Amino acid sequence: GAVVSQHPSRVICKSGTSVKIECRSLDFQATTMFWYRQFPKQSLMLMATSNEGSKATYEQGVEKDKFLINHASLTLSTLTVTSAHPEDSSFYICSPRPSGGYNEQFFGPGTRLTVL
Amino acid sequence: GQNIDQPTEMTATEGAIVQINCTYQTSGFNGLFWYQQHAGEAPTFLSYNVLDGLEEKGRFSSFLSRSKGYSYLLLKELQMKDSASYLCAVRFSGGYNKLIFGAGTRLAVHP
């Protein structure tokens, strides 16, 4: 199967700081990247979708100026949580879709963000 | 709109069979996925259905009826390690073929 990495796996930061999360597809190219977040005991909520080289499309209720997405290459996408607050504490998971198109959608291992 | 429903919790006995149902209402259906997720981990792929019928993969099977907006995941010969959340997700054909998840079903397997 496809290999997806996320870094960091876990981060603790102070309120007001920014945190960058990297997502890499290690053995395939991904034209499209999905970013999800998951609060405790809840399901995955889609935050935004991005295509390589273009601006991300955000889901309703997700602030695009707070969650900055960069999809600069076919193997790397980043999500930056700007001016993080405790309510942003969550599990963030990326999901790159292979450029060739597959029936399976792969997920990264996730990043646990805790904002103090 | 998009609406995906599945039971919140289920319990079952080791060695038994359990069926987890999922119903959805959507425009632009383009496939249904089932994922397993253990606490604190990312979801892992179990099955994919885009045509009506049953897909079997070892102890896991998944069924889809597009006309009824209905799917189920069948787990046979349950093991303790099957205790996890099971997520039903629907892919929508509009835009980027995004995948939207149901709330998930927490399955507890007891000895």
Query: What are the tens digits of pLDDT across the range B52-94?
Result: 999 998 999 999 999 999 999 999 999 999 999 999 999 988 7
Cα-Cα-Cα-Cα dihedral of B61, B64, B34, B78, to 10°?
-30
Cis peptide before A8 (omega within 30 of 0): yes
Taking an 8 Å cut-off on Cβ atoms, the answer to whether A43 and B98 are in contact is no
Q: Provide the shortest C-alpha distance from residue B90 to chain A (in Å).
A: 11
Burial of A72 (C-beta count, 10 Å sphere; 0-12/13-18/19+): exposed
Contact: A105, B100; criterion CB under 8 Å? no
Closest chain B residue by Cα to residue A32: B96
How is residue A66 written in tokens? 């707070």
pLDDT at A102: 64
Q: Which residues of A touch B (CB under 8 A)?
A: 1, 32, 34, 36, 42-46, 49, 51, 57, 91, 93, 95, 97, 103-110, 112
Segment holding B46, helix H or strand E: strand B44-49
The SS3 call for residue A88 is helix
Q: CA nearest B86 in A: which residue? A: A43
Q: What is the pLDDT of residue B40?
A: 87
Q: Say if CB B104 and CB B85 are below 8 A apart.
A: yes
Quote the minimal CA–CA distance from B10 to chain A in Å.
15
Least confident of A13-17, A71-75, B36-40: A71-75
State yes or no: pLDDT of A37 exceeds 90: yes
Say whether pLDDT at A16 is over 70: yes
User: What's the average model confidence in pLDDT over A67-82?
Assistant: 92
Burial B2-20 (b: 16+ CB within 10 A, else e): eebebeeebebeeeeebeb
Q: How many CB pairs under 8 A join A and B?
A: 54
Q: Which of B99, B100, B105, B106 to mutate to test the interface with A (most CBs of A within 10 A)?
A: B99
Instruction: Report residue A83's pLDDT band, with 50, 70 and 90 as the boundaries.
Output: very high
